[in-house]
Amino acid sequence: MHQLFWLSVLFCTTFPIASGGVNEPQAVFNIPNAERNTNDEQASEKWYKFNSTIKRVAVIGAGPAGLQAAATFIKHNFTVRLFDRAPGPGGNWLYSDEVPVREPYPDAPAVEERWIPEELPASKYYNDGDKGLTLDSRWREHWQPRSIWNTLHTNSPAVITELPDAPYPPDHSWVISAHTIGAHVRAYASIHNLNANDKSSVHSYSTRVEKLSKGPDGNGWRLILKQLKKLEEPDRLKATWWTEDFDAVFVAPGPYTSPHVPEIDGLLQWSEVRDVEDASRFSVYHSRVYRRPDRYTGKNILVIGVGTSGSEIARDIAPVANKIYASHKEYADWDTLHPFQRRSFRRFPDETEFIPKISHFEPLSSLDNGIKDGKIVLVNGTVLEEIDEIILATGYKRSNPFHLSVLNETFGVEAVEAPPFDVFTGPALKYVHWTGHFIPDPTLAFSTVRPWTAGQYQYYGQAKVWEGTAHLPNEAELWAQYNSSRYNNFRGLFGTGPSEAIVRQYVTWLNNESLENGGRLVSPWPVQNWEVFAYYANQEWEQGYLSKENFTRFENIPDNQWTQKDIWDISVFEDEFW
Ligand SMILES: Cc1cc2nc3c(=O)[nH]c(=O)nc-3n(C[C@H](O)[C@H](O)[C@H](O)COP(=O)(O)OP(=O)(O)OC[C@H]3O[C@@H](n4cnc5c(N)ncnc54)[C@H](O)[C@@H]3O)c2cc1C
Ligand SMILES: NC(=O)c1ccc[n+]([C@@H]2O[C@H](COP(=O)([O-])OP(=O)(O)OC[C@H]3O[C@@H](n4cnc5c(N)ncnc54)[C@H](OP(=O)(O)O)[C@@H]3O)[C@@H](O)[C@H]2O)c1
């Protein structure tokens, strides 16, 4: 019976490669042959061939993705090192009252250069006030406290926000608090001996990857690492820099690495104004520093942006705030909004006054008296006054979490003509195959799927490829797949057709490879979870949005129709991590 089931999965599910149809890939990437590091011998082979055996693997990031990947790689007998800039595991779910250092105004470019001593290893002690920086700000700059607030609850049900082997308490609600998720992720880390207080040579917390480049002999990878330690004696921090070499590297720095600050005339000047009651704070700031409602008591608040951060923070402060305005872009009509956008509009508290986009902020005569006397002009000409604070709930952009010196070297290009870091720019990671492997050099791999749900398949696949029990196609075929509609369309909001397609793609590929080369078989997502999730989505997101059929419709649609627009309509959502 079991055998029959797998055979039907293997043979009934095929995956189209051909591009075309209504949804052409948005950006087709073709590296000129001269700039490619294509090995001629390899091109004639069917499968990608690694130059040497992979033993040592680095994992960057200890969130839900990195922890699962590290646990998987350990199980597959790789020698693993896990690095995270934060003082403990959890990723986005490591709650802290500390807030990130101030976001740049105007929006900074996605590339961040960091100072690295010339000779390594090296160490340095910091005292309070060195180079005008407090120790506190150095510490927060290093680990970048997360964007979650005290009362935050998930907008995903437990059944799709759960790591294996660490079940939530049986009486948990289906919408889980950030603190419960944090405890859950830490429990997962502990089960795998990866928590900060576990004695282990695997993990290194408070350790930021500053640079990733090819190893000195052109093989493998070299990481430049910086660890920051709070010393026993007060008022000192110790920084240590060193290098470690690896055969392969897995990268999971999270999707929301940098805040997005919109370009609005006059915002720059307003962003410099300090809060009149507390000079350590500003009157304009990004939603990622929001923690608690107390300071909003009796105030008039302008929230810019009506996504999840905007609506949920407005709900949190509504009981104490005097007035909440929410500024949004102009949308053609309600029906063209994504169900998540409609949900956010609906979740704003009743007392919210929705207002159009902001045209500009009138110049202030002084930076010392707060923003309350300032005038905010909306695109319809209305002037908004008497605002105490402005929360930019304008979302995030992907940025380069470390200096990735790889493209130029890998492609053999000397100069920095081609942007060396742009793997991370845009909604989807660039030059990365659907398996998460970096096409020019698949000893580098990324987390490119929703870690809670499809992560188990992707990280298992990466372990199998690196240990040799699964194959990647040759480089030409990797690029062909990358440029096909499979890569561009087979990602979408979890529970929609395209995201189901990627899971099926994994199940088929992994089980074919295991049957041929050894290793365990994997199961598709359990049917009982589909039902719970579909029920949740209809109650909490939008009625009629999800049905159990989203998970099965591929069985009834011939694969030559999979690129058609109606398959993707419901999932148009730029966020591949959902
Ligand atoms: C406010 C907010 C609310 C959210 N709510 C939900 C929700 O309800 N449901 C849901 O499913 N998802 C939600 N998400 C998405 C969330 O990102 C995912 O749930 C999940 O945490 C992604 O896991 P990850 O491991 O890929 O990334 P993360 O959890 O972000 O972990 C990445 C880790 O990489 C580390 N890192 C980054 N750069 C470096 C470096 N250079 N060196 C060393 N370490 C580094 C970071 O410190 C971090 O610990 C939310 C996101 C935000 C911002
Ligand atoms: N669990 C939770 O409750 C929770 C809470 C917060 C965040 N999250 C998750 O975290 C991720 C990020 O969410 P987010 O809300 O921070 O970001 P987001 O979803 O990107 O929303 C940003 C909002 O800002 C708007 N915007 C951008 N520039 C603007 C401008 N100049 N004027 C007016 N509006 C502007 C955007 O409009 P357009 O979309 O039209 O561009 C969008 O509505 C999402 O995955 C979300 O689900 C979850």
Cis peptide before 100 (omega within 30 of 0): no
Which ligand has an atom closest to residue 93 CA? 1
Q: What is the pLDDT of residues 247-297, one digit of tens each?
A: 999 999 998 889 999 999 999 999 999 998 899 999 999 999 999 999 999
Write down the pLDDT at residue 548: 67
Could you list the pLDDT tens digit for every one of the 578 residues in the chain? 333 322 333 323 333 222 222 233 333 333 333 334 445 555 568 999 999 999 999 999 999 999 999 999 999 999 999 999 999 999 999 999 999 999 999 998 766 678 999 999 999 999 999 999 999 999 999 999 999 999 999 999 999 999 998 999 888 888 899 999 999 999 999 999 999 999 999 999 999 999 998 888 878 999 999 999 999 887 899 999 999 999 999 999 998 889 999 999 999 999 999 998 899 999 999 999 999 999 999 999 999 999 999 999 999 999 999 999 999 999 988 888 888 889 999 999 999 999 999 999 999 999 999 999 999 999 999 999 999 999 999 999 888 888 877 554 454 443 333 344 567 776 678 888 989 999 989 999 999 888 999 999 999 999 999 999 999 999 999 988 888 765 666 666 677 767 777 788 899 999 999 999 999 999 988 878 888 888 898 898 888 777 767 666 666 666 666 555 555 554 444 444 54
The DSSP element (H or E) to which 130 belongs, if any, is none
Q: How far is the CA of 389 from the centre of ligand 2 (A)?
A: 18
pLDDT of residue 3: 34
Ligand 1 midpoint to CA 537 (Å): 22
DSSP character string of 424-453: GSSSS-TTB-TTSBBTT-TTEEE--S-TTT
CA–CA gap between residue 290 and residue 451 (Å, rounded)? 25
146: which DSSP letter? -
Looking from the CA of residue 83, the nearest atom of ligand 1 is: 43
Coil/strand/helix, residue 97: coil
**Residue 329, ligand 2, Cβ within 6 A:** yes
Q: How far is the CA of 260 from the centre of ligand 2 (A)?
A: 10
Q: For residue 263, which atom of ligand 2 is closest to its CA? A: 31
Ligand 2 proximity of 228 Cβ (cutoff 6 Å): no
Supply the residue whose CA is at minimum distance from atom 39 of ligand 2. Answer: 307
Q: Are 214 and 220 in contact (CB under 8 A)?
A: yes
CA-341 nearest atom, ligand 2: 43
Q: Which atom of ligand 1 is nearest to the CA of 66?
A: 25
Closest ligand 2 atom to 394 CA: 24
Query: What residue's CA is closest to ligand 1, atom 14?
Result: 92
pLDDT of residue 488: 62
Closest CA relative to residue 500, chosen from 491, 509, 508: 491
Full DSSP string of 321-363: -SEEEEE----S-GGGS-HHHHHHHHHS-TT-EEE--EEEEPP
CA of 308 from ligand 2 middle (Å) equals: 6
CA angle 491, 494, 500 (to 5 degrees): 65
Ligand nearest to the CA of 347: 2
Cα(111) to ligand 2 centroid in Å equals 22
Structure tokens at 110: 């996605």
In degrees, to the nearest 5, what angle opens at C-alpha 188 toward C-alphas 183 and 194? 105
Q: Which of 60, 81, 82, 92 to mutate to test the pocket of ligand 1 (most atoms within 8 A of CB)?
A: 92
Q: Which amino acid would we find at residue 264?
A: I
Judge if the beta carbon of residue 255 lies within 6 A of ligand 1. Answer: yes
Name the closest-CA residue to atom 44, ligand 2. 308
Residue 200 in contact with ligand 1 by CB distance below 6 A: no
Q: 354-373 pLDDT, tens per residue?
A: 999 999 999 999 999 999 99
Q: Locate 367 and state its tokens.
A: 């930076």
Instruction: Report whether residue 23 contacts ligand 2, using a CB cutoff of 6 Å.
Output: no
**Chain centroid to CA 26: how far?**
21
CA distance 244 to 221: 8
Distance from C-alpha of 214 to C-alpha of 217, rounded to nearest angstrom: 8
Q: Residue 300: CB within 6 Å of ligand 2?
A: no
With a 6 A CB cut-off, is 154 part of the ligand 2 pocket? yes
Check if 178 has its Cβ closer than 6 Å to any atom of ligand 2: no
Asked if residue 222 has its Cβ within 6 Å of ligand 2, the reply is no
Kindly give the distance from the C-alpha atom of residue 337 to the centroid of ligand 2, in angstroms, as a whole number. 13
CA of 89 to the centre of ligand 1 (A): 11
3-state secondary structure of 223: strand
Pocket of ligand 1 contains residue 63 by CB under 6 Å: yes
Which among 309, 352, 359 is the best mutation to test ligand 2's pocket, defined by most ligand atoms within 8 Å of the CB? Answer: 309
Q: b or e along 525-547 (b: 16 or more beta carbons within 10 Å of the residue's beta carbon)?
A: beeeebeebbebbeeebeeebbe
* DSSP annotation of 58: E
Q: Whose CA is nearest to atom 8 of ligand 1?
A: 154
Q: Measure 66 CA to ligand 1 centroid, in angstroms.
A: 10
**Mutation to probe ligand 2, out of 308, 541, 575 (largest number of atoms < 8 A from CB):** 308
* Per-residue tokens: 404: 């990735």
Pocket test for ligand 2, best of 264, 304, 329, 333 (most atoms within 8 A of CB): 329
Shortest CA distance to 303 belongs to which of 317, 322, 324, 320?
A: 324
Q: Does 189 sit in the ligand 1 pocket, CB within 6 Å? A: no
74 in ligand 2 pocket by Cβ < 6 Å? no
